[in-house]
Amino acid sequence: MNMHENETLFEMFILETLELISQLEEIALISEKGNSVKNRINELFRIVHTIKGSAAMMNYDNIVTLSHSLEDVFYYMRENHPINVNYSVLTDIILRSADFIKNEVNQIQEGNVPYRDASFIVREIEQFLAAIKNDEKLITQESNDIPPVGDDSKAESSTPGKNRFKVVIFFEDGCEMENIRAFNVLNNLEKYADIIRYSPGDIIENQKTAEVIKTKGFEVEFSTELAMDDMKTIFSETVFLNDFKLELADSAGLNDAFTEKSNNDMEFAGPTLKQSMISVSVAKLDKLMDLVGEIVISQSMVIQNPELVGLNLSSFYKASNQLQKLNNELQDTVMSMRMVPLSATFQKMNRIVRDMEKKLNKKIKLEIIGGETEVDKNIIEHLSDPLMHLIRNAADHGIEPAEERIEKGKPASGKITLEAKNEGGDVWIYVRDDGRGMNKKSILQKAKQKGLLKAPENELTEREIFSFVFHPGFSTREEITEFSGRGVGMDVVSKNIEKLGGVVQVESVYGIGTTVSIKIPLTLAIIDGMIVRVGKSVYVIPITSIKESFKVQESAIFRDETGNEIIMLRGNCCPVIRFHEFFNINSDAVNLTEGIIIVVESEGRTVCLFADELMGVQQVVVKALPGYIRKVNGISGCTVMGNGLVSLIVDVPGMINTS
């Protein structure tokens, strides 16, 4: 096999295995919560089996050994349906194994050989399995003493908490659609019990099952905490019921044609769902995006061609409008191809919350809203780190231990809400907690200590006070814990979000809770820009930063103590930045009244930019400055204008922070 084939196999192994591991994690987490791991055993088995197979092909022995031992557990559980399984321990084992394999795959990705020894985990897994098998032996010995048709007292004593029953239901003659009625029975039954299996299995898809039910009845095996009498009452309320037989189930119960009932709490579409989807390499999508960008530029070069100035070309402009419409649609479609729902990233947070719960000994519930909101693939990759930080912060700083919460009159279990929604051209993500909230006073004090106050205390808005927490090294925690206190988290969050072209804000009410809001533009590649002229140069200001623009009157211009120019804007002082001074270029206008003022805002600070003239608004394709030119203060990129010239794109936060 030549090099090329080798590489593709390699990449596919990594991609597939990572996907499978994340499915494994998800199922484990969801099932543990819904207490229904045993219903998903089949899936878990299949996933681990596939991982083992691929790893075996690539000769990664430690992964093979680990998956094999997990396989053994799932196989035993699938075939024997043990009752006394500690699902919490099992989930722990699954998650730890998933972590191990993930780590090894990451090693492989970096070109190293996976070398870590899995025998520690393997031993634990084997012990776990042995324990189950042992328990089973004991239980089957006990249940042999119990008469097959159980009455109440015995039913309650056999397995603490959960009772296992089998029911056969017969419907009235001539009621028709017995298979649908059987489905209704299942639906109803789910409210009270966990369905283990039922026969016939294909009641929805296969009409003929109605016949089977007419003659043999509809069999269901389930486990519930209710007693037999309760179940009798429930079943007797079945619509069109003719008769039913309810008895205590033993393991060697029903046979042939069974379906494992899949649970309703399953949100994601597993590999069994057939969708017409196709996987495309991200490189191709990137290339497509680039081409679309070039088309946007080409289009403006055609439409804004200087040779057309002054000509009467109504038919031409009609045609070019059509072209523009088509291009816009093309652009939208290509961008939507790269959009990926946030749900995968959000689901990862489940794991973090679970780990934090255990480590901090707190009860925390994670609520996820709007997971279907989509974001560009590039952005998703850079979101999970900041989100992890924020969730950790909320769990560590925010949510109080249960006793404290009860004292305050809050529910014992803290709640963290992760919400996403689309608004205009942006995606908003909120991380809300109902914990301690932030103390404005201590933040102000710390800020004073660090000399961060640029204005007198009483003039700072709430937003400005809270935004101090994004300062590097800022933390009002006295001790450093494993998760926070070093003051590194929020700073990293804000830098990462800025890199995505977004902004972070914090709102908090002391004692009630905190909300961190993240706003990210849907795409970085093409933005709406305001074109301004300064002397001979042309600059682009992203529309999202602009609040307004106007020609200023002499009367509104002042100077402060240091001689800096200030403009009064509806009662607020707004410092002036002269474009030509900031960038050291020539400009035509000298007096502020001759040119144009553009008011821009970033992170709560407002500034007036002074330029010669407004040229217009247009869509520009953002290109990075060539790598050879390192970072320039106040410039975030460049673009090619309609006339073929390169314009610089202004980095508004950078300009404001420098002045």
Partner 1 sequence: MAEMYEKTRETEDTQKGKYLTFLLDNEAYAIEIKYVTEIIGIQPITEVPELPEYIKGIINLRGIIIPVMDVRLRFKKQPAEYNDRTCVIVIDVEGILIGLIVDSVSEVLSISDDSIVPPPEIKKGSENRYIQAIGRVENGVRLILDCRKLLSDNETEEISRTQN
The DSSP letter of residue 512 is: T
Please tell me the distance from the alpha carbon of residue 595 to that of residue 534, in angstroms, as a whole number.
Answer: 9
Binding mask 574-593 for partner 1 (x = CB under 8 A): --------xxxx--------
Contact with partner 1 (CB under 8 A) among 117, 176, 265, 294: 294
**Of positions 441, 543, 645, 657, contacts partner 1 by CB under 8 A:** 645
Task: Say which residues have a Cβ less than 8 Å from residue 84's Cβ, sequence separation at least 6.
Answer: 132, 135, 136, 139, 159
For the CB of residue 642, give the shortest distance to partner 1 in the complex, in Å: 12
Among 634, 642, 650, 651, which residue interacts with partner 1 (rule: CB under 8 A)?
634
Q: Toward partner 1, which CB reaches closer, 191 or 630?
A: 630
Smallest separation (angstroms) from partner 1 to the CB of 492: 23
Piece of the chain touching partner 1 by CB under 8 A; list 270-278, 513-521, 609-617, 620-628:
620-628
Q: How far is the CB of 290 from partner 1 (least distance, A)?
A: 9
Q: Is the dihedral of CA 222, 228, 234, 235 positive or negative?
A: positive
Quick one: which of 297, 349, 431, 576 contacts partner 1 (CB under 8 A)?
Answer: 297
d(CA 364, CA 412): 9
Using the contact rule CB under 8 A, the part of the chain among 13-21, 149-157, 400-408, 635-643 near partner 1 is 635-643
Across the beta sheet with 605-611, the strand order is: 546-550, 596-602, 605-611, 572-578, 565-569, 557-559
Helices (H), 522-578: none
Q: Which is nearer to partner 1, 545 or 639 (by Cβ)?
A: 639
When the beta carbons of 257 and 625 are compared against partner 1, the nearer one is: 625
Query: By C-beta, is 379 or 531 nearer to partner 1?
Result: 531
Which residues, numbered 496-555, are part of the site for partner 1 (CB under 8 A)? 537
Q: Which of 27, 66, 506, 640 binds partner 1 (CB under 8 A)?
A: 640
> In this chain, which of 648, 652, 655, 656 binds partner 1, going by CB under 8 A?
648
By the rule CB under 8 A, 562 interacts with partner 1? no
Stretch binding partner 1 (CB under 8 A), from 103-111, 302-310, 595-603, 642-650: 642-650
We find the least distance from the C-beta atom of residue 629 to partner 1, in angstroms, to be 5
610 binds partner 1 (CB under 8 A): no
Q: How far is CA 125 from CA 66, 358, 470, 500, in A?
A: 9, 21, 44, 42
Cα distances from 350 to residues 63, 388, 398, 416, 624, in angstroms, run 25, 10, 17, 11, 36
Q: Are 430 and 515 in contact (CB under 8 A)?
A: yes
Q: Say how far apart CA 46 and CA 615 lie, in whole Å.
A: 62
**Sign of the dihedral defined by the CA atoms of residues 451, 455, 460, 463, in that order:** negative
Strand partners, 427: 422, 520
User: ∠ at Cα 464 (461, 465), nearest 5°?
Assistant: 90
Q: What angle do CA 426, 430, 436 make, to 5 degrees?
A: 155
Alpha-carbon separation of residue 559 from 568, 571, 576 (angstroms): 10, 15, 10
**Total of chain residues touching partner 1, rule CB under 8 A:** 24
* Residue with smaller CB distance to partner 1, 295 or 556: 295
Distance in angstroms (rounded) separating the CA atoms of residues 341 and 380 = 9
Between CA 502 and CA 599 the distance in angstroms is 19
Which listed range, 53-61, 219-227, 427-435, 627-635, lies at the site for partner 1 (CB under 8 A)?
627-635
Alpha-carbon distance 56 to 146, whole Å? 46
Question: Which residue, chain included where needed, has tokens 């349906």?
Answer: 81
Please report whether residue 302 would count as binding partner 1 according to CB under 8 A.
no
CB of 400 to partner 1, least distance (A): 46
Q: Which is nearer to partner 1, 306 or 627 (CB)?
A: 627
**Could you tell me the smallest distance in angstroms from the CB atom of residue 645 to partner 1?**
6
Q: Which ranges constitute the DSSP H helices of 81-144?
A: 87-109, 119-143
By the rule CB under 8 A, 635 interacts with partner 1:
yes
Nearer Cβ to partner 1, position 74 or 583? 583
Q: Which is nearer to partner 1, 295 or 339 (CB)?
A: 295
Options 74-82, 380-388, 486-494, 632-640: segment touching partner 1 (CB under 8 A): 632-640
Report the DSSP beta bridge partners of residue 416. 366, 433
Instruction: Considering the complex, state which of residue 315 and residue 584 has its C-beta at the smaller distance from partner 1.
Output: 584
CB of 291 to partner 1, least distance (A): 10
Assign residue 176 a region: left if phi > 0, alpha if psi is -120 to 50, beta otherwise? left
Asked whether 512 and 398 are in contact (CB, 8 A), the reply is: no
Q: Which helix (H) or strand (E) holds 448?
A: helix 440-449
Instruction: Using CB atoms within 10 Å of the CB of residue 397, give its burial: 0 to 12 exposed, 13 to 18 middle, 19+ buried.
Output: buried
When binding is defined by CB under 8 A, the residue of 20, 231, 638, 655 that contacts partner 1 is 638
Quick one: 542 or 634, whose CB is closer to partner 1? 634
CB of 607 to partner 1, least distance (A): 18
Q: Does the footprint of partner 1 cover residue 628 (CB under 8 A)?
A: yes
| Piece of the chain touching partner 1 by CB under 8 A; list 51-59, 68-76, 247-255, 644-652 | 644-652
- Binding part of the chain for partner 1, among 11-19, 88-96, 185-193, 630-638 by CB under 8 A, reads 630-638
Residue type, 93: I
**Binding stretches for partner 1 (CB under 8 A):** 294, 297, 537, 582-585, 623, 625-629, 632-635, 638, 640, 644-648
